[in-house]
A and B are shown apart, each in its own frame.
Chain A
Amino acid sequence: MAKTLKFAVKQTIPVFCGYIFLGIAFGLLLQKAGFSFIWAFLISLIVYAGSMQFVLVGLLSGGASLATVAVMTLMINSRHIFYGLSFIEKFKKMGRRYWYMIFSLTDETYSVLCTVKVPSEMDEKRVLFLIALLDHIYWITGSVIGALIGEKIPFNSQGIDFAMTALFIVIFLEQWKESKTHIPALTGILISVLFLKLMGPASFLMPALIMIVLILLMGKSLIIREFGCEDVPTNEHVQQEHSQEEGI
């Protein structure tokens, strides 16, 4: 048990660095908008969505309508629709932890869960759950610290949010090294850059994600042919998928 926890903590150290300081930034912002640490705690506990919570501060202090809040939240978090696709079977096996795993699937937890390699002597379900839970605890802790004593922290944390960018870069590299096909990774980068140029930073994300899904679906047979995923280890399996595809 202690070993499992230690392993989970190690996997989440990058998220810890990012979440504590982003959480502090959120708590500080919320406190400046006139809300006590109890609200920071509640929001980070039940909403638990990084960038959305920063927008939420504005919505709260501006007294936005519930409909506005709903539309904004759905729009900002719409990328999460795609995350669960990789964990449908895995989470189903997690029993009563199922709902929490879905609830806590943030960008960062998703990224760590995508690449974590659980040693065979450990209970994989327990590891995944601990990773999700630890990330959530870091985020709540950061927000409460920010709301309580954010202004008194003498440490200049400007630029620490790059830890999240660096985490995504490292995971990107890990997946690059382990996959025989680089088509998905390159599609992700190129289409994002293209749509960012075309549509600007505020609205490129969803159109880019939808376009990526379409391209990956169109290139399915090509990508499966050179796919290095552990789930598709042999040519037989590839052929099987092919015949299934043709059958549909």
Chain B
Amino acid sequence: MNILGIIVIAAICTFATRITPFLLFGTKKGVPDAVSYLGKVLPAAIMGVLIIYCLKNVSFTVSPFGIPEITATIVVILLHQWKRNTLLSIAGGTILYMLMVQNFFNSLFSVFI
């Protein structure tokens, strides 16, 4: 019973965070000027935040020193500059990253060091 309770509470609280802006500003009066401005500029800022959030546990002092993350990030950027094809950029960066964090990178690393 408590299991179901925990799940329901987690569901309600997750929904609560998502509905907050709609409850605050979704009234019939319309959206305040400052909020509609934030709605336009925040996505670009939040995408930056989410990138850093994804990479937050990368350590530059412990092997492999963030090299897979940095390399894959650069590859995504270069691929996207080159072809501007979303799927190609994501697949290219991810496959390279997977190769690097799986055996490939470790064996390559041990050859060099």
Say whether B111 faces chain A, with CB atoms less than 8 Å apart: no
Residue among A84, A201, A227, A231 facing the most chain B CB atoms (10 A cut-off): A84
Of all chain A residues, the one with the shortest Cβ separation from B2 is: A63
Residues of A within 8 A of B41 (CB): 183-184, 216, 223, 227, 229
Residues of B within 8 A of A88 (CB): 21-22, 25-26, 31, 35-36, 39
Are B44 and A162 touching (Cβ within 8 A)?
A: no
Say whether A118 faces chain B, with CB atoms less than 8 Å apart: no
Check A170/B48 contact, CB under 8 A, given A48-B14, A85-B38.
no
Of all chain B residues, the one with the shortest Cβ separation from A64 is: B6
Q: What string of 1s and 0s marks CB contacts (under 8 Å) between A147-180 and chain B? A: 0000000001111101111111111111110010
Are A66 and B90 touching (Cβ within 8 A)?
A: no
Report the Cα distance A110→B50, complex, angstroms.
11
Are A164 and B86 touching (Cβ within 8 A)?
A: no
Are B39 and A39 touching (Cβ within 8 A)?
A: no
Are B17 and A81 touching (Cβ within 8 A)?
A: yes
Q: What string of 1s and 0s marks CB contacts (under 8 Å) between B81-93 and chain A? A: 1000011011101
How many chain A residues touch the partner (CB < 8 A)? 97
A-B contact pairs, 16 of them (CB 8 A): A49-B10, A49-B14, A56-B10, A74-B13, A80-B18, A114-B47, A156-B102, A157-B98, A158-B101, A165-B55, A166-B76, A175-B43, A186-B48, A189-B49, A189-B52, A204-B56
Are B33 and A189 touching (Cβ within 8 A)?
A: no
Of all chain B residues, the one with the shortest Cβ separation from A183 is: B41
Say whether B62 faces chain A, with CB atoms less than 8 Å apart: no
Report the Cα distance A52→B15, complex, angstroms.
12
